[in-house]
Amino acid sequence: MASLYEKLGGKPAIETAVDKFYVKVLADDTVNHFFTETDMDKQREHQTKFLSYALGGPNQYSGTSMEKAHEGMNIKPEHFNAIAGHLNETLEELEVSEEDRDQVMEKIGALAPHIMHK
Ligand code: HEM
């Protein structure tokens, strides 16, 4: 079955999604402080990898690599949920169906224990 990544149009579509997601994350005081030390290029890289993961594209991560990437950040449920919410909204704006969005949220949620409280 085609991944949502392919269904949306692959890499170029992800780039459009990243533009939207990026604006939302950086405008949100709940989470933007996590990124104050991150330069713009790295930030786009994070958002691109994040979205690519969420939509089932290349760059799939193990729980262990996600634990390492978020070590020392002490990400709490409210942070995680804020990021997930921005992702859901971005996909809604791109007219991704609710059914497909639910699947994405499930996939992201499965990583939560590896990302939070590290
Ligand atoms: C399922 C959810 C998430 C995924 C798949 C994900 C993915 C990633 C990846 C792949 C990296 C490593 C980037 C690299 O070094 O190339 C990373 C780093 C990072 N993540 Fe996440 N992330 C998730 C959730 C979050 C959340 C909820 C936050 C904060 C609210 C967050 C903040 C960060 C920050 C600040 C970095 C380091 C960026 C830097 O300074 O280089 N991530 N994430």
Give, in words, the CATH class of 15-115: mainly alpha
Q: How far apart are CA 110 and CA 1, in angstroms?
A: 20
**Does residue 79 have a known ligand-binding role?**
no
Q: Report the atom number in ligand 1 closest to the C-alpha of 116.
A: 27
pLDDT given for residue 103 in this prediction: 92
Nearest to 40, CA basis, from 52, 23, 55 = 23
CB distance 111 to 117 below 8 Å: no
Whether 68 has a pLDDT exceeding 90, the answer reads yes
pTM of the model: 0.91
* Pocket (CB within 6 angstroms of ligand 1): 31, 34-35, 38, 42, 45-46, 49-50, 53, 61, 69-70, 75, 79-80, 83, 108, 111, 115
12-53, pLDDT tens digit by residue?
888 899 999 989 999 999 999 998 888 878 888 888 888 898
- CA of 70 from ligand 1 middle (Å) equals 6
Hey, where are the domains in the chain? Answer: 15-115
Residue 77 — pLDDT band, cuts 50, 70, 90?
A: very high
pLDDT given for residue 59 in this prediction: 77
- CA of 113 from ligand 1 middle (Å) equals 14
CB distance 28 to 90 below 8 Å: no
ipTM reported for the complex, 2 dp: 0.93
